[in-house]
Amino acid sequence: MRSDPNYGEAVALNVEFFKAARFPVSYFGWLIFRAPRIRRNRAQILELGDLPFPRWQKAILETLSGFESRIPQMLQPIRQELIRGLEGLMKIKKEPIVVLSFGCGGMELERQVIYELVRRRFNFPIIFVGVDYSAAVPDVLATKFASLVSKGIVQLKTISHLGVDDLRRLKNEAASHRFSVVLLNTNAFDLKDLPENSFNLIYHTRLRHHLTAEESNQLDELATHLTTKVIELDDLFSIPAFVLASIFAWRFPAVLSGAIFSYLRDFSKKELLAQEANGWTLATFSNPVWCHLRVYDKAVTKG
């Protein structure tokens, strides 16, 4: 792949990282002297999970959702906001609630939200549609939701296309279930032809840093076209994050590279504030990971 124009530069960068990470001294040398230069040109970064290797994608998605499961604070800001949004929707909706997650990965957020809603005796049909183009995701989800599916709490299915008729069919099928999890195994931007406000709520976690600046703007446009409320969680660029990842992921090189390259691509708080747009609000968190929550509310834009 070194000679592939789409991946060559990123492959060389990953190989360079793994060579440096063989020894602590060369790794810290790389982190101190090389990483700042890479950040200045961060568009060239692709993580191992962005390269077309489903086996690595699976390992990385499972490890990320494993961390999100063992450290629930990693998703806490968006989990709370999402549950609040779902409870609000339940009060006003007559038909199943349909929410959409871009770049859903292992859907650990949805698993945690479903457990919490069961605990709160939430009794209204919800369809969680997760969009992700990775070939590794169907397997990851089958394992993740096996127990909830076998208990009859969740209905899980994978589709490769979602049009207006498919959405109507999903709602009809979901009416008799409490929780449906639907993986739409395709590119998020394939949804651009759906009508305005097709979903009750849209959210995404740890996705934005995977996108180019142009895709990032397109994603905001797409999300605000498809719904009235968007919630985004991603990590924030911060030096302590590099130190913590280096300590805790040192024994897992694939995870270490994913964490370090993600942090190098993340926005800083200053950059996020500079991008503030009408209707969006920003909150930042630092316990125990440095992350931000961006929320868009069409009602605020119109108001």
Ligand X SMILES: C[S@@+](CC[C@H](N)C(=O)[O-])C[C@H]1O[C@@H](n2cnc3c(N)ncnc32)[C@H](O)[C@@H]1O
Contact 158, 138 (CB under 8 A): yes
Nearest approach, Cβ of 215 to ligand X (angstroms)? 7
- Tell me whether residue 97 or residue 232 sits nearer to ligand X (CB atom): 232
- Cβ of residue 298: shortest distance to ligand X, in angstroms? 23
CB 143 → ligand X: shortest distance, Å?
Answer: 14
Residues 222-251 that bind ligand X (CB under 6 A): none
Residues 193-222 that bind ligand X (CB under 6 A): 205-207, 210
Give me the least distance between CB of 55 and ligand X, in Å please: 14
Q: Which of 59, 104, 174, 191 binds ligand X (CB under 6 A)?
A: 104
Q: Is 257 in the site for ligand X (CB under 6 A)?
A: no
Strands laid side by side in the 97-102 sheet:
154-159, 179-184, 126-131, 97-102, 201-205, 229-235, 291-297, 280-285
Q: Is there binding between residue 78 and ligand X (CB under 6 A)?
A: no
Distance CA 122, CA 277 (A): 34
- Cα separation, 143 vs 139, in Å, equals 6
Site for ligand X in 260-299 (CB under 6 A): none
What is the contact mask toward ligand X in residues 149 to 188, using x (rule: CB under 6 A)?
--------------------------------------xx
85 binds ligand X (CB under 6 A): no
d(CA 174, CA 181): 10
Q: Taking the complex as a whole, how short is the minimal distance between the CB of residue 296 and ligand X, in angstroms?
A: 18
Q: Which of 106, 144, 201, 255 binds ligand X (CB under 6 A)?
A: 106
- Residue numbers 37-66 binding ligand X by CB under 6 A: 61, 64-65
Kindly list the residues in this chain that would bind ligand X in the complex (CB under 6 A): 61, 64-65, 68, 103-106, 108, 131-134, 187-189, 205-207, 210
